Amino acid sequence: MARTALVTGASSGLGAEFARQLAARGADLVLVARDRAALDDVATRIRAEQRVQVDVLTADLTDAAGLAAVETRLTDPDRPVQVLVNNAGFGLDLDFAANDIADEERHLDLHIRATMRLTHAALGPMLARGSGRIINVASVAAFMPRGTYGAVKAWIVSFSRWANTVYAPRGVTVTAVCPGFTHTNFHERMGLPPGKEGVPGFMWLDAADVVREGLRDAARGKPVSIPSRRYKLLVGAVRILPAPLASRLAKTGR
């Protein structure tokens, strides 16, 4: 395992799970999120469980200063980062017309602008060393018509596919990890209590399984990882369904 991994959105959910599993593989960590108290809690637990160094960096990636602080850490020649996990994100209601446009702009900035800038910052040092790994957390929503959330995740998948093709021969792999509905606090942050997301039980995934499969596929240099066989089948089916049927299927859940 590489020496240092930087994980955004690391205060909870998939980000915290990426941090735990990377630490278990021997990586030192830089944890990034807006909530310092939550970051400190994750860091304290990982330090107690693993013999690794854990630094925390409080930053709002939709804010220019916060984004610049993380870019600076990624380009620090004295403390190289070998693994970048772009995980920070949030969801919005699927009704674009009813959403506050300022929220939509923040949503776009976090998922696309921050992912693009942090990937660009990490690539320079990684290419100079001839090694590195970038994991961009997307979603199966990228493969179906699912509001602006599906749109930003589709950008992440397309960007990751292209970047992996171009940079993997130079030692830097880029993988889009595309989970389906996963047991985290993601939906609660949207104001949806457990059991109110409108998602059948069989469609839920465990965060540890998602991260484990995502890390395995990234280690193999795959451009896209879709954890779990059920979602691989779902994505395959959506690609051949008529557009009206795919659209109805994409409305499942919130």
Residue 118's CATH number: 3.40.50.720
Q: What is the mean pLDDT of residues 30-38?
A: 97
Stated as kind and residue range, the H or E segment containing 32 is: strand 28-33
pLDDT at 182 over 80: yes
Q: Kindly state the tokens that stand for 157.
A: 């998948």
Q: What is the pLDDT of residue 107?
A: 97
Q: What is the mean pLDDT of residues 125-147?
A: 93
Predicted confidence at residue 183, as pLDDT, reads 79
Structural domain harbouring 44: 4-250
Mean pLDDT score, 147-174:
97
Q: Is the Cβ–Cβ distance between 215 and 162 less than 8 Å?
A: no
DSSP state of 79: S
Which range among 16-30, 81-95, 240-254 shows the weakest confidence by mean pLDDT? 240-254
Q: What is the reported pLDDT for 196?
A: 42
Give dist(CA 181, CA 168) in Å, integer. 29
Active-site residue, selected from the candidate residues 143, 149, 159, 167: 149
Lowest mean pLDDT among 29-38, 93-102, 239-248: 239-248
- What percentage of residues in the chain have a pLDDT greater than 70? 84
Is the pLDDT confidence value at 163 over 90? yes
Q: Is there a catalytic annotation at residue 149?
A: yes
Read off the pLDDT of each residue in 190-218 and give the average, rounded to a whole number.
74
According to DSSP, the residues that pair with 85 across neighbouring strands are 7, 135
Comparing 25 with 145, the larger pLDDT belongs to 25
Kindly state the DSSP code that residue 179 receives in the 8-state scheme.
Answer: -
Nearest C-alpha neighbor of 182 from the set 203, 196, 157, 200: 203
Least confident window among 2-6, 94-98, 187-191: 187-191
Q: Out of 12-16, 31-35, 230-234, pick the least confident.
A: 230-234
Binned at pLDDT 50, 70 and 90, residue 190 comes out as very low
Q: Quick one: pLDDT at residue 187?
A: 44
CA distances for 86 relative to 14, 31, 46, 116, angstroms? 11, 11, 19, 9
What's the total number of domains in the chain? 1
